[in-house]
Amino acid sequence: MRARVLLPAALAAALLTLTACGSDEGSAPAGDTGVPPSKASSPTGSPAGSPDSGSGSLGADVPEALDFTATTVDGKPFDAKTLAGRPTVLWFWAPWCPTCKGQAAETAKVAAANRGKANVVGVAGLDKGAAMRDFVSDTGTDTIPHISDEKGEVWKRFEITQQSYYVILDRTGKTVYEGVLPGGKGLAEKLSALTG
């Protein structure tokens, strides 16, 4: 009798996990989705920033959304304050997610086209460091910084509940878009509206 209860529950959990990777595109601004990202708790991490991260001006006012530190997938300290003053794309991905792999090329292309005008940062989660590093290598996205978020602190900060998800912040740190962009399509247009 117990197996009859456990099997449907296990199947439902597996189905939810699989469908989260390929969910539909979202387009509502943060104000329409509930609590804004600045209400979440601040994650901890290493205190120093990476000058190679395509960073904004440290002299700019730092919005709450970017007031956190972390570590990159290659073990370097990352200070999100360095992103302040420029539009920023946060791409939340998981190494085992085929939808995320499908977004990689377009995300890297958009990052290269906007170097010096905007920040593009990957936020890896839902797995371990070795798998995250393999994903970066396999997808050719090593030209952009990727935060290793094994504990899910940055994901929680931005209230992310699924992988293959983008959060786009304007120059002031306000969320102007969040959702899934299949294949990364539409990312360039959304970012050019902020950098133009």
Would you state the pLDDT for residue 61?
Answer: 84
State the total domains in the chain: 1
Q: Is residue 161 part of a domain?
A: yes
Provide the CATH number for the domain around residue 84.
3.40.30.10
Task: Please tell me the pTM assigned to this model.
Answer: 0.74
What CA–CA distance (Å, rounded) separates 120 from 133? 17
Would you state the pLDDT for residue 4?
Answer: 52
State pLDDT tens for residues 38-57: 333 333 332 223 334 444 44
Distance of CA 109 to the CA centre of its chain: 16
Residues in the chain: 196
What is the residue-wise DSSP string for 21-71? HTPPP----GGGSSS-GGGSPPP---S---TTS----TTSPPPGGG--EEE
What is the residue-wise DSSP string for 143-178? TS-EEE-TT-HHHHHTT--SSSEEEEE-TTS-EEEE
Token pair listed for 39: 């209400």
Q: Is residue 17 part of a domain?
A: no
Average pLDDT of 172-176? 97
Would you state the pLDDT for residue 55?
Answer: 43
Higher pLDDT, 48 or 172: 172
Name the residue range of residue 62's domain: 25-195
State pLDDT tens for residues 63-96: 999 999 999 999 999 999 999 999 999 999 999 9
Q: Is residue 7 part of a domain?
A: no
